[in-house]
Structure 1
Amino acid sequence: MGKGDRPRHGAGQSQRRRHRTRPPAGRHRRHPHHQGRPRVAAHRRRIRPGHDVLRRRPRHRHAAAEGVTTCSAIVFNGDGTWDRRDDFAVATAPPGGAVLAVEAVGLCHSDVAQLNGHPHVPGEVSPTVPGHEIVGRVHALDDGADLGVEVGDRVAVNIVTYGAPYEGNPFGVRCYGYSFGLDEREGLWGGYGEYMSILPGTQLVRLSDDISAEELTLFEPLSNMVAWLAKVNLQAGQTIVIQGPGHMGLTCAAYAKSLGATVVVTGTDEDALRLEVARGVGADHAIDVTVDDPVEVVQDLTGGFGASVAVDLASAPSTPSLCFDLVHHLGQVVWAGLKDRAAVPVVTDKVVMKSLTIHGGAGGTPESVAEACRILNQGDFPTGPLLGEVVGLDEIDRAMEILLRTAEPDAVRAVLRHASEGV
């Protein structure tokens, strides 16, 4: 679809859109310079000694809001269009499962690939309710549920579940927001819906009530960084180069700095805001590659040695190969930037001659999800600068502009906040 294509509108209770429509009259988009934009949290948040960040509210096992029978959700059709539907029946708990009232979901550039029907997750289907950086409150529990949580708990959802294996998916991996169609139960299986069903066996990790749900959606990108930087065994004093200052790259920079590494982030002249944020969350150096050669700069910074680790989180086809030039002999590389299945040029001789190790960054693990939530619950991670812009269900077009990098002004990230907490 070209940038000039106009949105299409469906009939009835749904609205089909591509990437841009005007908000209803009287509504204002929450741009950073608008007074109505939600306040960004402080860079650091101190939790007083002895304070239980996971204290529980008293709730009953079933806490469905009286009179609420329908809810709203965004549906991706897999052809570049999306619908807003307000006629979904509120999700019900599967046997042994739960219902989540979604508070917020972080948006990711992979959502754009999903919107356009470029699958990158096992069993991905369309149409579906998307959204995989999910924070919400447990709304109801099946009588047989054993998920380690109670109704009213705020939780992070590990999107990876396991079902029966089938051809092309031998491990039976299914992911919330990707692998569940509208024909399964109420069709609510992703964070773009106000409610969603939770299967038995899903990892739900409790989150603090002292930090906003929008900020806590960073648990998902942070869980990836915890897993990936453990793979490369990043040590204090080592140099890491992160290509791509999107919300994943910026989260990587903040986490790498917390481990004591020297952090270098690269971007282009279109990334001025994001490179500034990178410095603010701990990057020691931010390189505009349209001005400076990143390999030369890294060589200078390391006394000609090179970085120990290079992470590709960019969408450009040139960055995977560039990682080989940024690291030293025996260096380690993480490839995690999606290219929408485009072929990329690489010189494999460099991997051989420098004895490099390449890791694929496919996501987190149950252990890294738990660790990411622990870090966020402590209140010291710089969630404020990494928050980006918060939108509602009627502002998905604005969120897509941010993901597509056509938004004015720019934002480091987009987060969808649902109007009702549901419990």
Structure 2
Amino acid sequence: MTHEVRAVVARKQGAPVSVETILVPEPGPGEALVQVRACGVCHTDLHYREGGINDAFPFLLGHEAAGFVESVGDGVTDVAPGDFVILNWRAVCGSCRACRRGRPWYCFATRNATQPMTLLDGTALSPALGIGAFAEKTLVASGQCTKVDRTAPAAAAGLLGCGVMAGFGAAVNTGGVGRGDSVAVIGCGGVGIAAIAGAKVAGAARIIAVDIDERKLAKAERFGATDTVDSSRTDPVEAVRSLTGGFGADVVVEAVGRPETYQQAFYARDLAGTVVLVGVPIPEMKLELPLADVFGRGGALKSSWYGDCLPSRDFPALIDLYLQGRFDLGAFVSEEIGLDEVESAFDAMRRGDVLRSVVTL
């Protein structure tokens, strides 16, 4: 049986997206069919539309999603029809060299569904991050489904599927923020705000938010920032140092992905401190640092992929924190919209008006 569903498609680079009827097959071995209930509008989807990821058009957009498993293919035992799940884009294989060494968050052979979803004329779609969840139903590898408490609202839960998990994990998993630490976060979009929230949950004593947008700095305070720095008016390195006794922060999270902000992060950390890059640079960007400074300052320079998360471990734990009132995941939802409003949500994202627009179905 093939399912006809409405979905958001990017047909060519830079063109507005369209809502079209697509074909989704029944799950084959190792696959799951998911009824999507909510999907956040992430900047990565806009990157796909603009051709910034690759040119495998047409794309089926959407990947920050939660919903219910409708059916599963042969051999699937980890989820069952009726399970409420968050979708993830790093379904670990369990057998690559990273998985065998007990580091599955670095899995080098993550899995996706093998059957294509298509346009009505049979043209295969490229699902964003192997998910494609701006759709009433989507087909994924069963390992991309992480079962969580069904009492969590789908609009909030789905955000763990990408941006919120990336930021939270950058601080907690990659940066290792702990009780009493000082933390600076450069860039207070959705990922940076999530890093601030993660640092708060981890017990950081001082959390410094750095951005050029006063609106974003105000949001950062809501999520736990103890101090804010407007880097359009103040040298952020000197500001962070002055707020940390002249030393710099124990952990600095760079959530922009630009050489100049990375340099700020490097010099705003304490000696032997940690810099975490979670902002995504474009391929043309180059970084220059005096090698003597890299050596002399010690510490760690890390990159964070997906918050170095293990979905089976981290998604249920963060949902539990949310339901206990210890992590305000719902506050990331700026608005709930329909499938036909994704293009306007991209505009709101560009203007910095929202943390997350969420498509609800």
* Fold conserved between structures, TM > 0.5: yes
Q: Relative to 1, partners in 2 of residues 1:283 and 1:246: Cα closer, same or farther, differing over 3 Å?
A: same
For 2:72, which of 133, 141, 150 is the aligned residue?
Answer: 141
Counterparts of 1:161 and 1:367, CA distance in 2: 9
For 2:344, which of 362, 378, 398 is the aligned residue?
Answer: 398
More helix by share: 2
Deviation at 1:185, TM superposition (A): 7.4
Q: Relative to 1, partners in 2 of residues 1:184 and 1:156: Cα closer, same or farther, differing over 3 Å?
A: farther
Q: Relative to 1, partners in 2 of residues 1:113 and 1:180: Cα closer, same or farther, differing over 3 Å?
A: farther
Deviation at 1:348, TM superposition (A): 3.6
Q: Does 1:154 align with 2:84?
A: yes
Q: Relative to 1, partners in 2 of residues 1:218 and 1:187: Cα closer, same or farther, differing over 3 Å?
A: closer
- For CA contacts below 8 A with separation 6 or more, give which structure has more relative contact order: 1
Task: Give TM-score scaled by structure 1 length.
Answer: 0.72
For 2:296, which of 353, 369, 380 is the aligned residue?
Answer: 353
Q: Which residue of 1 aligns with 2:210?
A: 266
Structure number with greater Rg is: 1
Aligned to 1:373, the other structure's residue is in SS state: helix
Q: Which amino acid aligns with 1:250?
A: I
Aligned to 1:388, the other structure's residue is in SS state: strand
Q: Relative to 1, partners in 2 of residues 1:181 and 1:326: Cα closer, same or farther, differing over 3 Å?
A: farther
Aligned to 1:73, the other structure's residue is in SS state: strand
Task: Give TM-score scaled by structure 2 length.
Answer: 0.83
Conserved in 1, the CA contact under 8 Å of 2:278 and 2:304? yes
Alignment of 1:135-284 (within 5 A): 135-142=66-73, 144-161=74-91, 171-173=108-110, 182=118, 189-200=131-142, 202-220=143-161, 221-225=163-167, 227-228=169-170, 229-261=172-204, 262-268=206-212, 271-284=213-226
Counterparts of 1:115 and 1:361, CA distance in 2: 24
For 1:80, which of 14, 17, 29 is the aligned residue?
Answer: 14
For 1:115, which of 39, 44, 49 is the aligned residue?
Answer: 49
Deviation at 1:171, TM superposition (A): 4.2
Deviation at 1:173, TM superposition (A): 4.2
Conserved in 1, the CA contact under 8 Å of 2:24 and 2:117? no
Q: Which residue of 2 aligns with 1:25?
A: none
Q: Does 1:126 align with 2:87?
A: no
Q: Which amino acid aligns with 1:140?
A: S
Q: Does 1:370 align with 2:313?
A: yes
Q: Relative to 1, partners in 2 of residues 1:340 and 1:111: Cα closer, same or farther, differing over 3 Å?
A: farther
Q: Percent identity?
A: 24
Q: Which amino acid aligns with 1:153?
A: D
Q: Which amino acid aligns with 1:400?
A: F
For 1:99, which of 30, 33, 50 is the aligned residue?
Answer: 33
More strand by share: 2
Counterparts of 2:360 and 2:59, CA distance in 1: 19
Q: Which amino acid aligns with 2:229?
A: I
Gaps of 5+ in 2: 97-106
Deviation at 1:305, TM superposition (A): 1.2
Deviation at 1:150, TM superposition (A): 2.4
Deviation at 1:87, TM superposition (A): 2.3
Counterparts of 2:155 and 2:286, CA distance in 1: 35
